[in-house]
Amino acid sequence: MTIPEKTSVHRSPHKAGKTGVFIALTIALLLSTPFAVQANAVEPESYTPVAPTIDQARANILIARQLQFTHFRDMGISDELSGDVFDAYLNYLDGQRVYLTARDVQALDKVKSRLGSALKTGQLQPGFDIYNLVQKRIIERLRFALKTLDEGIENLDFSSNDSILLDRSEADWEPDKEALDALWVKRIKNAVLAQRLNGTDDEAITETLKRRYEGQLKRAYQARSEDAFQAYMNAFTGMWDPHTAYFSPRTSENFNINMSLSLEGIGAVLQGDNEYTKVVRLVPGGPASKQGQLQPADRIVSVAQEGEKPVNVIGWRLDEVVDLIRGPRDSVVTLEVVPASATDETITKSISIRRDEVKLEEQSASKNTIEFERNGETYTVGVITIPTFYADFRAMQAGDPNYKSTTRDVRKLIAELQQEGVDGLVIDLRNNGGGALHEANDLVGLFIDTGPTVQIRNSNNEVQVLNDDDASVAYDGPLVVLTNRMSASASEIFAGAIQDYGRGLVVGSQTFGKGTVQAVRPLNHGQLKITQSKFYRVSGGSTQHKGVIPDIEIPSRIDKTRIGEDALDHALPWDQIEAVPHTRYFDFSDIIEELRKRHEDRFAKSPDFRLLQQEIDFLEEQRQRETVSLNLDERTTQQEQIERTRLTIANARRELRGEEPFESLDELEDWQDQQAADLGSTDEELDFVIREGGHIMADMLELDKRMVSILAPRQIAAQAEVRQ
């Protein structure tokens, strides 16, 4: 959730005039700084080291001051911070520890403890020296890889019992160049094996790998001062929290349109992830969301325009990848990605998406009904799906009485469902990444009388309480809210309020945990997005880090170790403040255990759930693998086992739908490609989760008949607490 500020506020003991003099004096000393880092090898002749500019030094000083005096987290710049910045910076530049040697890292140790003091005063040279050394090593490694390919991949030995570590982020640095050579031979063998097992011939494999390494090499030679500065500043700002970030002037342009690619794009929010560009989330109603194959945490390897060869984008700047993915409406862009579920970065798939605009009406709330019989009684449950919290601000400001917004649309849908005589209501917030804060506040108001909805605390410990002051209630019946790991920000505010008020049950999986508010502040060079506030529920607990814990949990395919606030480095912790008085409409404590038992009994008998659990177990087993064999026979056996499992799960799902099974994995993948070509025929969502929400609703009605009139005036009077 980002709330832009109109003005930039600096809480600082220095006056503006003194600050300007201080910056000028500091910058004058930059070129004589004694922080130079010596490389151990001769610098490649064609690489030109990048150097900091005066504008970047000035921006660095401003960033340091804003972090210390205006960030929500009260933290100074210390020697301990220096080491953390150093580690984060190396992790960004060489996160898999495949470029630098232990000897290189040891040579850099001399500046490790002094980065903090240098960053305070705009002395950027040590960070740039580190960046230049890594670029040199990248060039050396890529040259070695290309030389190995030139010697012929047929000369690589795939009969040994070698294996390779899949994740080297915690591995020891290789001691020297010779050890790195051996590691890179293994990396190349792994990439070759992955493509051979997919049926690619050696000539095509060589061409693909050469194109990949040559593209990365070209980028390394084209390194710019701004690349080093942005990487260094983000290692620095990331110490405060993962949502505080520096945007270069070019990146700022993309941020100002939310980097959503929604204008003649694919509708995906992207971010840099070491050498890769990673998908953060999909824009509801956008081409990628409707196409159905691109997923959060997928990493982009290459981008191909229609009828053209793919362009490898590993190592590219985020803004350049964004530019490449954008294009004319109705044109097709093909992304080669490492899927979030892949155990190995050599495993990729291609996804073709037709570019289009994301229209507001395609993000709108929608309704449906489900019916089922239990114990001779028929239940009708209304389902309202809310992809995002939206509002047509332009129409609102223009005075259009029919402007669209989440709350207005949901109110109409509720009225229509009530006319249909629904017994209960399910609000589906799965994959809803948030949106307009005031819409979350207003939406809560549709289900309660009046009262607080969320608390916002700033860095001065001042607390603002948002309230619903409208006494009207759109719906007073039983309510279930569905969430998953991708439900974030405004979704968490709504779900948390419904839970705190005892207004309904939250069902699904733990939400994302995005409970902070950022402001964008201009600098002399680029912008700083800085965390300034934190959300708290009316019960006092923060939505930050912990998110909303469901009353009844349903497992999810999403890997919680990779997606979610608690998976991010330096995320602000969960905490709590004083609760604000609020009505507790219903106490579920007497029936919650029975509700859970009935849910578990149903799922134990449900073929849909057993299939989901089988898929989750399979994915978890793949994630737990730490190494992969480089022996062709052993790797073939592993691959065949994985393919059999994938095919078995896919066919079991088709059998549940009464469809013919696939005879081979190729047939399954061909079908998936056909589905991708038709945006209207993507694989269905797990409807049994929505139906389970309906069954829980029926359980609530059966176990406590008071739920039928939960908001009757006499009950409100009896249950309401004293308000402030």
Exposure string (b/e) for 126-156, b if CB count within 10 Å is 16 or more? bbbbbbbbbbbbbbbbbebbeebbeeebeeb
User: Catalytic residue at 489?
Assistant: yes
Distances 709 to 91, 374, 401, 506, 701 between C-alpha atoms, Å: 56, 21, 33, 19, 10
Q: How far, in whole angstroms, is CA 462 from its chain's centroid?
A: 29
User: What amino acid is encoded at 105 in this protein?
Assistant: V
Q: Strand locations in 349-468, DSSP E?
A: 349-354, 366-374, 377-385, 424-428, 451-458, 463-468
User: In b/e form, how buried is each residue of 382-394, taking b as 16+ CB within 10 angstroms?
Assistant: bbbbbbbbbbeee
Catalytic-labelled residue, pool 409, 423, 476, 500: 500
Strand, coil or helix: 375: coil
- Phi–psi pair at 568, nearest 5 degrees: -100, 140
- Rounded Cα gap, residues 406 and 425, in angstroms: 16
Six token digits for residue 7: 């003005």
Look at the block and give the residue holding tokens 């899949």.
166
Q: Is 604 exposed, middle or buried (0-12, 13-18, 19+ CB in 10 A)?
A: exposed
Detail the DSSP E strand segments found in 386-446. Answer: 424-428
Residue in 489, 542, 556, 629 annotated catalytic: 489
Which residues on neighbouring strands pair with residue 716, listed in sequence order?
none
Length of the chain: 724
Q: Are 481 and 429 in contact (CB under 8 A)?
A: yes
Q: Is 529 a catalytic residue?
A: no
Q: Tell me the sheet residues that pair with 335.
A: 303, 351
Instruction: List, as one string, the DSSP characters of 646-712.
Output: HHHHHHHHHHHTT-PPPSSHHHHHHHHHHHHH-GGGPPPP-HHHHHHHHHHHHHHHHH-GGGGGTT-
Looking at the DSSP bridge assignments, the partners of residue 238 are: none
Tokens 């719906």, located at residue: 475
Among 136, 349, 514, 534, the one annotated catalytic? 514
- The values of phi and psi at residue 80, to 5°, are -65, -40
- In sequence order, the β-bridge partners of residue 466 are 454
Q: Residues with Cβ < 8 Å from 388, sequence gap 6 or more?
A: 283, 284, 363, 406, 432, 433, 434, 435
Residue 277 · residue 299 · CB < 8 Å:
yes
Q: Where are the beta strands (DSSP E) in 308-404?
A: 311-312, 332-338, 349-354, 366-374, 377-385
Question: Phi, psi at residue 19, to the nearest 5°?
Answer: -60, -45
What tokens appear for 525 in the block? 């060079």
Structure tokens belonging to residue 500: 């705190």
Say whether 442 is catalytic.
no
Beta-bridge mates of residue 278 = 271, 299
How many CA atoms within 13 Å lie on the side-chain side of 695? 21
Strand ranges in 598-661 using DSSP code E only, listed in sequence order: 627-629
Residue type, 418: Q
Strands (E), 69-131: none
427 forms bridges with which residues in the sheet? 384, 481
Active site residues per annotation: 489, 500, 514
